[in-house]
Structure 1
């Protein structure tokens, strides 16, 4: 083998030797290893004029501060990111003229180690054995009184991203290629103070406090082979001057530190040991407390390598212990978590930090509970990354952390969280509250959860955010809460212009003895005898006189759809702020207080809780960074969503979801319908615009609203004809009542023409041109007239306030850039009084990135709002119909019909409808483009929820599926398996598409037994090829 490698390879002799070494090692042949090593090049001395490139920092000309982002997503703020430039420097052989710690701030020692190369990846052995070797070597070389080694890191870029089993828990990092020193004078003194507490002998500790201290880096090659790649170079401290030093901030997600970087200078001389071997130890200073001695040894990895040589493997060990523990403790983030506190480390924190921190916390705080780890149970070396601390133990934790030098500011909660207990003590006991509204005759119609909401609002002294799901009756709850302070009326109600009539109707229904006045014009005088003034946001901003009642301030204010005041700079927000800031009772109402970002909560919370800080304090607490969208500041990368959720609903907010309080209300079922292009000229223009808008993520995020609106307009024109044909098919196939939403008037007009042709006058249309007086009659007709099948609605004109529960489906012909509008439109039918399962369809242009982006925005905002408002992550398509199922419903043309479809096995709360009455109950045209010619059998009705079968274990399903079986797909399975009707699939393919999901496997087995949706293919029929996933 040796002869083959050395004589038959077409590589230089030296590179062949490395190959011999690698293959001999892999085959476990020590004799061959020794023989191959004999051919390896010996470490050579560098010549006096040898040079290499070193990366120096480039200081900004404007003198601004410089920072290094240690984690992704760190905002720059007023500082500048560090920039580096390579510069050639002369090198000196550290063996030819050995350096000394007292002159060059570095020293090369002969210090053998008992550890094998693989042992250095075992963190336990390094701490137990290698630390003592380092202590002994440093004491022998320097005569130090006490040496404390506090942590280490292994440098191996091949294993840098594998902190688990691959390296047995060692902290592995890459090569530091920029000239730097790890400590400034400030951080070095802090490290020394923390290290003293590790010395258990009081006499030794006292003596050390009076001694000089030195922070030293002990650097060693851990491979049996000499270093031939990226050797370490150290700056000769005698060529260093004070003006060469640049202090740089090191920014992490939850804390910051600092280090020293180096300016270039022609006088700099660098030294290194060529081909450094395993039995050599290089010491170099990081800080010396004696100002007469060299204090810093800047160092970096050189970008030089012998061709074909193995990657460098090295270890660095730092004396002066407990700096590691102090850094780890400083990086802990303090968050509110229910009734406890959550201590969380930044993501991907190395185990060299998490391991000692876990041991120290377990010893100092036995009551601490581990919440999560950095790996699963298969990793024996896993370490905690988050803890739960009981609230009473906060003082004990602070005392422990302060001993480690953790800044006091990092151990405190912001004022609005720290004062939560005081705020709770001011609240009334709900059991002792006697709502006056309960004495009204109309109160008998209240549901139980509505009564609980009224009690909650009164116990909060009438300063509350009602954030119940759309359709749960927030209006009556707001009226009842305000009724508790009836003697303080007149009351101001601010709402969207389209809801003024709704408020008059609700006030008349629930409080018939109350007089209310809706203001439709600034010229309308206020009636001095009125109890309630109802005004729109726009009119309140236009007429400042309406912000007071005949010169007197309002003592009770209700802001309906309060997300209208999410922008503190908007005129309507400022108009509402003036009466709201001075009122005694403030009731904010919105089912979607978070439309896009949690920053929209800040104006609302500041009105309700005076402890809320300014905008910047709130933003820095709940967002990691910012970005600019055409000059407008946007907050990105949300954090602490669970904390914000707990604060919001433990103090001022109340939110109930439909499924929590209305067992008779069925779930929404969402589905996407892909439509083909129908206007080629406009399609070409759309593709050109989208190629510009979505050429990269940054451009898409910063696209102007003009371009976005133009894209939506083009999408509308391209898919308009296909949308009209789809709606015609729905009507022709005997659909039930449904809501049809669109945005552009052109689209609405074309859809209305189709409705007139198919239905005559059996439909209603409500858009921005429809008068406010006519809207209630149109809504009532759709609700009560059994012959009125369709409500054609504008997305922006009827997104709020109205109830259209007669609908059994909702179809969106167009999308919107604001996801909250879509969710509000869905809420028109999914409200109190709805007894059917609601199917929601989105008609998307198949080739359009604009529609796809709108859908992605809808999913992300749904997730984000769910985290903040509901405390958990909910997928938009997590119910009956998955996103994958809808993606394959592609409209081909008039000859190929695509109809709405539902999933097999309806939700137990759904009401079964006969197929003759409604297309909701049918199961045609789903995952395939066309249905088979033979009419499929009707799907069985859903079983009652009490008899719903429990899915069988997946292994029993596997046992029933024979490997040789092949199946033909007859009808949609609604399992998200990406199947085509009429195609044949093998058992293994179908099973693999289920991806181990027991529910899908169980339903697949049921379909195979039933034989209606798929049937066994004849033997010998070729199965479909399994696609790569």
Structure 2
């Protein structure tokens, strides 16, 4: 991640130009990056011979280099097969981990016809060995045989009452050897960027007062926690975690916003990653209220806007913060002007978190990078952090990662701001947590109603009242 996979892939493809035309399958947000890189480093490829396919009806017979999205592969499969691409580059190949998905099946069909296939990913498997099978089949479909054979050997595959279970792991050392000897060229930051500054991970436990919730909401929250802890089936447990995770987001908002406020006392740039729109919106309101310039990249941001926003953050000192969706902005962008990365929320795949950290910890970084995770005890964060650690250990055993979420510095949220006389206590969370029954009937903006003793405590003297009272949750 951040080690020049694009350059290396194009160098290999250029060596085999006699086997072209070249097909580059990537995410829609990376289209401009690939176009710019090809034009800059492969000047022998004429601009008129490089094409980005936007419709299955596009004429592509004159393209020596065709760039397509992963989704377009399945929508225009027959036309792509007719073009007979001899070299194929699949960027972010881990997105094709589901062998039943249409885009994965289409990629496999194209790979069978190609002479050279290059897969690029900083995280080939996000959490378990089964995610590697479809990618390995694109390179050599005969080596491992069927998925049943592969999963029985490396995923502890077995038949259950719910069907074939390939979610486990087995013979990982053998798999690591096979990957390194036959399938994978692995470049680590230690190998490529020996002068890259260090990165350290920290955990800050937030001061979230669950006791502020009313009885009805606390009972609902406890029910979600119990559902997750008691459910055993994989799909049901994942669904329970998603619900638990969503409610945790609302509960964390006041503490996260208070933490962001303290960071704004510094002039240093920082990144903030979150998953839910309600959290992204809350952080944005804090920055707007404090008249701070920021960029925001989420699922609604176009590829052209992404490049514009990244340039603003990288080259203009007045932009102090980048608000980033952890799923939409964990790859394909460089934000090395920041040396502090805040995770307001987690993600259940450790590889996604590692990719997000690499937005700042990559080529071009000049200082030590700190990745700081804001966790709320007693919420879904407890379960997710353990899940992340377990999955990361599996990836390390296969040899796909050297990251670790075990040896981290842990501290508690400190509300002391730069001025010793100024305090930022955790704000009332009751207005952020609404049970489904009341939420269905409520469409107006929610107003924070301070307790009767607030005036004596001077809780809202930091300006948070104006920000948080207008949040739509």
TM-score in terms of structure 2 length: 0.82
Aligned to 2:256: 723
Structure 2: gaps (5+ residues): 427-473
Partner of 1:797: 328
- How many Å apart are 1:721 and its aligned residue? 1.6
Residue 536 of structure 1 corresponds to which residue in structure 2? 69
1:690-743 deviation per Cα after TM superposition (whole angstroms, max 9, x unaligned) = 1121136x36x45354433222210111111211111111112x1511111111
Q: Structure 1 pair 702/545, CA: closer, same or farther in 2 (3 Å)?
A: closer
- Of 230, 237, 241 in structure 2, the residue corresponding to residue 695 of structure 1 is 230
Q: CA deviation at 1:641?
A: 1.4
In the alignment, what sits opposite 1:1012?
none
Among candidates 392, 398, 403, match of residue 862 of structure 1? 392
Query: Relative contact order (C-alpha < 8 Å, sep 6+): which is higher?
Result: 2
Match of 1:710 in 2: 243
In structure 2, the partner of 1:21 is none
- Describe how 1:192-211 pairs up with structure 2 within 5 A: none
Counterpart Cα distance in 1 of 2:40 and 2:311: 16
1:895 aligns with 2:423: yes
TM-aligned CA deviation for residue 867 of structure 1: 1.4
Matching residue within 36, 42, 58 for 1:524: 58
For 1:715 and 1:626, the matched residues in 2 are separated by 35
From 113, 123, 130, the counterpart of 1:592: 123
Match among 381, 392, 398 for residue 851 of structure 1? 381
Q: How many Å apart are 1:561 and its aligned residue?
A: 0.5
Distance 1:677 1:665 in 2: 40
* CA distance in structure 1 between the partners assigned to 2:164 and 2:198 by the alignment: 37
Give the distance between the partners of 1:487 and 1:875, measured in 2 at CA: 43
Residue in structure 2 matched with residue 746 of structure 1 by the alignment:
278
Q: Is the 8 A contact 2:348 2:384 kept in 1?
A: yes
Matched-pair contact (CA < 8 Å) for 1:645–1:869: yes
| Shift of residue 753, structure 1, vs aligned partner | 0.8
Question: Once the two structures are superposed, what CA deviation does each residue of 1:399-440 show, in whole Å capped at 9, x if it has no partner?
Answer: xxxxxxxxxxxxxxxxxxxxxxxxxxxxxxxxxxxxxxxxxx
Is the contact between residue 680 and residue 718 of structure 1 (CA under 8 Å) also seen in structure 2? no
- Cα 1:522–1:537, aligned 2, differ >3 Å: closer, same or farther? same
Aligned to 1:654: 185
- Residues 777, 705 of structure 1: alpha-carbon distance in 2 compared, 3 angstrom cutoff: same
Q: Taking structure 1 as reference, are residues 843 and 684 closer, same or farther at Cα in structure 2, changes over 3 Å only?
A: farther
Greater strand content: 1
1:621: which partner in 2?
A: 153
Query: How far is the alpha carbon of 1:606 from its aligned partner?
Result: 2.0
Shift of 1:890: 7.1
What's the offset of the Cα at 1:582? Answer: 1.3
Assess, with a 3 A threshold, how the Cα gap between structure 1 residues 637 and 704 changes in structure 2: closer, same or farther: closer
Shift of 1:608: 1.5
What is aligned with 1:822? 353
**Partner secondary structure for residue 255 of structure 2:** helix
Closer, same or farther in 2 for the Cα pair 1:499/1:874, shift >3 Å?
A: closer
The question of whether the paired residues in 2 share the 8 Å contact of 1:472 and 1:658 is answered with yes
Q: Which residue of 2 aligns with 1:507?
A: 38
1:290-689 alignment, distance < 5 Å: 470-514=1-45, 515=47, 516-526=50-60, 528-548=61-81, 551-609=82-140, 610-626=142-158, 631=162, 633-675=164-206, 676-677=208-209, 680-681=213-214, 682-689=217-224
Question: 3-state SS of the aligned residue for 2:123?
Answer: coil
Indicate yes or no: 2:316 matched with 1:785. yes
CA deviations over 1:834-875 (Å, ceiling 9, x no partner): 121111111112211x1122112221222211111258x764
Question: Shift of residue 471 of structure 1?
Answer: 0.5
Asked if the contact 1:677–1:683 (Cα under 8 Å) also holds between the matched residues in 2, the reply is no
User: Aligned in 2, Cα 1:674/1:612: closer, same or farther, shift over 3 Å?
Assistant: same
Structure 1 pair 490–770 and aligned structure 2 pair: CA distance change class (3 A): same
Q: Which residue of 1 aligns with 2:305?
A: 774
Q: Do the aligned partners of residues 504 and 648 (structure 1) sit closer, same or farther apart at CA in structure 2, a change above 3 Å counting?
A: same
Conservation of the 8 A alpha-carbon contact between 1:724 and 1:751? yes
Distance 1:826 1:743 in 2: 15
User: Per-residue deviation at 1:585?
Assistant: 0.3
- In structure 2, the partner of 1:835 is 366
Q: Aligned partners of 2:320, 2:301: CA distance in 1, in Å?
A: 19
Taking the aligned partners of 1:533 and 1:504, their CA distance within structure 2 comes to: 10
Distance 1:660 1:488, change over 3 A: closer
Q: Which structure 1 segments of 5+ residues have no match?
A: 1-469, 899-1029
Alignment partners' CA distance in 2, 1:772 and 1:870: 29
State how 1:900-979 maps to structure 2 within 5 Å: none
The Cα offsets for residues 769-812 of structure 1, whole Å up to 9 and x where unpaired, read as: 11221110111111111221111111111111111111101111
DSSP-derived class of the 2:204 partner: strand
* Equivalent pair of 1:547/1:578 in contact (CA under 8 Å): no
Residue 631 to residue 783, structure 1, CA distance change in 2 (3 Å): farther
CA distance 1:703–1:524, change in 2 (3 Å): same
Partner SS for 2:319 = coil
* TM-score of the two chains, using structure 1 as the length reference: 0.39
| Cα distance in 2 for residues equivalent to 1:819 and 1:631 | 27
1: CA distance between counterparts of 2:166 and 2:414?
37
Q: Compute the displacement of 1:594 (Å).
A: 1.2
**2 CA distance for matches of 1:625 and 1:485?**
39
Check whether the contact 2:25–2:91 (CA below 8 A) recurs between aligned residues.
yes
In the aligned structure 2, how far is the partner of 1:656 from the partner of 1:876?
20
CA contact (8 A) 2:125 2:400 kept: no
Work out the CA distance in 2 between the residues paired with 1:571 and 1:767: 25
RMSD: 2.4
Contact 1:738 1:811 (8 Å CA) reproduced: yes
